[in-house]
């Protein structure tokens, strides 16, 4: 028996990057997974990869910022899995850098829809089945950007700070129902999201010079921590923020 045999997991933003790595990791540990994202081709490839290791995968092509369609896709995912024991709210990101004074409000709202509203929608759809079962584990992808000031990325930092607070509130609301809610806070991880920082050697050097471990984190390292947070190995842990950043957040 693997760690997650018999468990059913939903992973948003699973077509690439951290979400894909988490979906693969959970499947490798025996979970049946439903994966959601906009890129159907990449989801189909992931599904093939999961089936190749003997797993079961359900795909739903959806945009998490289109709330009604997203909620519908989650409903289908829950129904195809026959319930949900694990929810990974991973879809998120940031598409621009701008001081607050010049940020278009539509850009602010889009960032909130992608990173915060999507977590609320997913929890509202998936929590009822977990409450019925009196069991579940939710992991929200926040960021160390949500822990302190993020100049030129205030929209993203504020969104991830909201995810941290939401995680803590949900954890308290669900603790007596045996549903645990925790957040993962990565630092700089090598994915498409941070690709623009590797285009110029000098930019990459500037980023890594501030990371005590002097390297990018990998999606696999984040997936390993996600596995810990949804497994019984963290069974007395809820409302917590697990930071994985090569030491960046404890720099003086």
Ligand X SMILES: NC(=O)c1ccc[n+]([C@@H]2O[C@H](COP(=O)([O-])OP(=O)(O)OC[C@H]3O[C@@H](n4cnc5c(N)ncnc54)[C@H](OP(=O)(O)O)[C@@H]3O)[C@@H](O)[C@H]2O)c1
CB 48, min distance to ligand X, A: 16
Catalytic residue IDs:
156
Helices (H), the chain: 17-28, 40-52, 67-81, 105-112, 118-133, 154-174, 201-209, 219-230
> Of the two residues 131 and 197, which places its CB atom closer to ligand X in the complex?
197
Span interacting with ligand X, options 26-34, 165-173, 181-189, 206-214, rule CB under 6 A: 181-189
Give yes or no for residue 193 binding ligand X (CB under 6 A): yes
Q: Does 186 bind ligand X (CB under 6 A)?
A: yes
CB atoms within 10 A of CB 16: 18
Q: Which one of 11, 26, 34, 37 is in contact with ligand X (CB under 6 A)? A: 37
Q: Does residue number 232 form part of the binding site for ligand X (CB under 6 A)?
A: no
- Buried b or exposed e, range 56-73, using 16+ CB within 10 angstroms: ebbbbbbbbbeeeebeeb
- Tokens 């999961």: give the residue: 50
Cα 116 to Cα 201: distance, rounded to the nearest angstrom? 33
The interaxial angle of helices 154-174 and 118-133, nearest 10 deg, is 10
- Report d(CA 33, CA 77) in Å as an integer: 9
Stretch that binds ligand X, among 16-24, 101-109, 123-131, 206-214 (CB under 6 A): 16-24
Q: Does 87 bind ligand X (CB under 6 A)?
A: no
Per-residue mark of binding to ligand X, 137-156 (x: CB under 6 A): ----x-x-------------
Residues that bind ligand X (CB under 6 A): 13-19, 37-39, 42, 63-65, 90-93, 114, 141, 143, 186, 188-189, 191-194
């Amino acid at each position: 028996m693997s760690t997650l045999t018999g468990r059913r997991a939903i992973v948003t933003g699973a077509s690439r990057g951290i979400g894909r790595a988490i979906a693969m990791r959970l499947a490798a540990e025996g979970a049946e997974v439903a994966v959601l994202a906009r890129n159907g081709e990449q989801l189909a490839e992931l599904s093939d990869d999961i089936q190749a290791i003997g797993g079961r995968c359900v795909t739903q092509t959806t945009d998490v910022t289109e709330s009604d369609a997203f909620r519908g896709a989650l409903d289908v995912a829950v129904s195809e899995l026959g319930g949900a024991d694990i929810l990974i709210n991973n879809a998120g990101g940031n598409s621009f850098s701008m001081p607050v004074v010049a940020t278009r409000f539509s850009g602010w709202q889009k960032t909130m829809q992608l990173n915060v509203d999507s977590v609320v929608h997913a929890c509202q759809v998936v929590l009822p089945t977990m409450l019925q079962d009196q069991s579940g584990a939710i992991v929200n992808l926040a960021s160390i950007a949500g822990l302190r000031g993020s100049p030129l990325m205030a929209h993203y930092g504020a969104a991830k700070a909201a995810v941290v607070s939401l995680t803590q509130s949900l954890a308290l609301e669900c603790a007596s129902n045996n549903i645990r809610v925790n957040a993962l806070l990565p630092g700089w991880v090598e994915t498409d999201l941070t690709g623009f920082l590797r285009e110029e050697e000098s930019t990459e050097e500037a980023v890594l010079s501030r990371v005590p471990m002097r390297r990018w984190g990998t999606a696999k390292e984040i997936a390993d921590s996600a596995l810990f947070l949804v497994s019984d190995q963290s069974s007395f842990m809820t409302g917590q923020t697990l930071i994985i950043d090569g030491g960046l957040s404890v720099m003086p």
